[in-house]
Chain A
Amino acid sequence: MKLAGNDMLIQSLINEGVEFIFGYPGGAALHIYDAIFNQSEIQHILVRHEQAATHAADGYTRATGKVGVVLVTSGPGATNAITGIATAFMDSIPMIVISGQVQSHLIGTDAFQETDMIGISRPIVKHSFTVESQESIPRIVKEAFFIATSGRPGPVVIDVPKDLTHPDFKFDFEYPKEAKIRSYNPPILPLEDQVKRAVEAILEAKQPVIYAGGGTISSNASNELIKFQKLTNAPVTNTLMGLGVFPATNKYFMGMLGMHGTYQANMAMHNADLIIAVGARFDDRITNTPEKFAPKAKIIHLDVDHSSVSKIIEADVAVFGQVKESLSAINKLLEASESQCQDLSAWHEQIQEWRSKHGLNHNLFKNKDDEHPILPQAAVQHIYQASEGKAFVTSDVGQHQMFTAQYYHFDEPRKWINSGGLGTMGFGLPSAMGAKLAFPEEEVICITGEGSIQMCIQELSTCAQYKLPIKIFNINNLALGMVKQWQDMNYDGRHSSISYEDSLPDFVKLAESFGHVGIKITKNSQLQDGIEEALSYKDKLVFVDIYVDPDEHVYPMLVAPEGSMKDMWLDKDLKT
């Protein structure tokens, strides 16, 4: 079969099983768009800004485990995609970003809409390719998918000069069956000796904690993790990225850990004699001051990425390989072992004591009293109840994100979709679009704030075009809440540049102007009915604007700088 470069590119994507391309056309990408027009296997989703294309592809990937594909033009198309590429990179999300480039002979001449996409994106991609000949397109696409999805996943950019997609020049097309890259060979199976040493440490532990992160989700290792917990009887905490990989309603689950983690999870980490890190990377939002981190704990670290191990916290036992394979190997050895794990009942009692002392209050939703403003936590609890804990939930970044992580109990992986590493405001709505396109029959909820939603609010138009009945819950506190909280706590309440109260749009009217439904909630007594009404619209996007207490803070909160994981603010005037 002979194909031109533009058709080769699209045919390669079809061969990879791509269902959607999220993109925005422009000069350098026009030949590729013509190839999209001439086929029917891939649906192109026209967003309103390239940042949203990357977030939508990202949300699609997080929800499905399949690779999201983005197509943008050169220059501003490419630069607008950068925030979304960096978001995917920080959370190890596979993504293919195809950027148009000016014609080969114009590269380096400051041509119209020319930018060095490979250079600009270099620090935030797993790898990138410049297409140098039409014949190399199938191989490059195959390699790009292999690199994006294997090892520690990440985004890959393919920069394609316009002349190499010209429809008049045709070449033999054969899509490679596999990608072989001699300088890239990520580990899959762990070494036997590493597994043995891990099991020895587990059998000795009296106060172990399983600390599981996003790598456990990307490795699809939820079942192996649940089995590992059963075999060890150890308590589990998840990172912000790992929520859902262990069922939140399981009695051994302690909640999220870290900056806004639960009291019991942070205390358990600090007092543990063994921490088993599974696909997690000890980032600064977890460890607090690394020198004071878990002083008594041995560390076992399961990861596919060498450079993540002993980067911040020195590991005593490292197990390199796909987390799924490493957990399976450990489980197998534990099952075969003649010795038993230690009796952990005293440890579980201790954790229960911490939980009863300062655990989160999950009954705030029972308050119907209109004398007091709505608590944002209560709003999230109502959303959890009304959606029966089964929805895909995306969020933006800030207080509403932390409240959702704390109060929406995720029992399955891939249901919680948020920007953990980069902390990208504007992520919530477009990522919900990606999840909804992948799962049209499932409830997809975006919990956002009036600050974040305005960063990608143009996508309300995309949702209208493709009829995406997402439910948006805007936790509206009239200010940039998390910044305000830091200003309250660290800057004597000097609220610098966090307020726009008088210039907020009427979100209900705004949603209605796109043909969506808008609901406004201002009182506790309206909360349950309003949220249930929103979820009752099966074919409509509903924007629910919930006015909450503007003075509420997120607690617990680790004390920084110089604090350890046991040092927390538990309330405005209560510190551990």
Chain B
Amino acid sequence: MENKPGALARVVGLFHQRGYNIDSLHVDPITDFSPYSFIEKELSITFKTDEISRLTIETTVSDSLMRQILRQINKLIEVLAVSNEKSTYLKGVLRDENLLR
């Protein structure tokens, strides 16, 4: 997500608002962009240092709720991409239709 004031609060607030639980949470600015080059490619953008944060959240939920959480997070304006071990959602880019059903 964009490394902007308030962005973290939106994600954390979303979990509370929708009744999802957070088991653990870690956030830091991304310095090595190499694992995220697919985002740059898909969205036709170039990341600069300190512009982007990676937020890692652990939660324990059913598969259907997990899908709902990913979609809700992806809807936040400052989030660029969200993924779990199975799926990746990118802003406005429909990659795999099975994920999106």
A residues adjacent to B (C-beta < 8 A): 118-119, 122-123, 126-128, 130, 147, 181-187, 191, 193-194, 305-307, 309-311, 314-315, 317-318, 320
Contacts and interface: CB of A to CB of B under 8 A. Distances in A.
B34 to A, nearest CB: 19
B100 to A, nearest CB: 6
B55 to A, nearest CB: 13
Task: List 10 tightest A-B contacts by C-beta distance, closest first.
Answer: A185-B92, A307-B71, A127-B77, A306-B71, A183-B80, A123-B17, A182-B45, A185-B91, A307-B72, A184-B77
A183 B13 contact: no
B67 interface: yes
A241 to B, nearest CB: 20
A310 B64 contact: yes
Contacts of B13: 122-123
Contacts of B93: 185
A391 B64 CA distance: 44
Contact of A194 (B17, B68, B78, B97): B97
Interface of B: 1-2, 5-6, 9-10, 13, 17, 43, 45, 64, 67-68, 71-72, 74-75, 77-80, 89, 91-94, 97, 100-101
B100 A183 contact: no
B94 A191 contact: yes
Residue from the set B9, B13, B80, B94 with the largest chain A CB neighbour count within 10 Å: B94
Residue from the set B9, B43, B93, B100 with the largest chain A CB neighbour count within 10 Å: B100
Residue from the set A183, A185, A309 with the largest chain B CB neighbour count within 10 Å: A183
B68 A307 contact: yes
A159 to B, nearest CB: 10
Contacts of A320: 94, 100
Contacts of A191: 94, 97
B77 A310 contact: no
A548 B71 CA distance: 47
A306 B71 CA distance: 6
A147 B45 contact: no
19 contacts: A118-B6, A122-B9, A126-B77, A127-B77, A130-B5, A130-B6, A182-B45, A182-B80, A184-B77, A184-B92, A185-B43, A187-B94, A305-B75, A306-B75, A307-B75, A310-B64, A314-B64, A318-B101, A320-B94
Contacts of B17: 123
Contact of A183 (B6, B9, B68, B78): B78
A122 B92 contact: no
A194 B78 CA distance: 28
B72 A310 contact: no
Given A123-B17, A127-B77, 7 more contacts: A122-B10, A147-B77, A183-B2, A183-B78, A306-B75, A307-B72, A320-B100
Residue from the set B6, B64, B89 with the largest chain A CB neighbour count within 10 Å: B6
Given A307-B71, A310-B67, A183 B97 contact: no
Contacts of B45: 182
Contact of A181 (B5, B74, B77): B77
Contacts of B78: 183
A128 B77 CA distance: 9
Contact of B68 (A122, A182, A187, A311): A311
Given A305-B75, A315-B101, A318-B101, A119 B92 contact: no
Nearest to B45: A182
B98 to A, nearest CB: 11
A183 B1 contact: yes
B77 to A, nearest CB: 4
A310 B101 contact: yes
B33 to A, nearest CB: 14
Contacts of B100: 306, 318, 320
A547 B52 CA distance: 62
Nearest to A315: B101
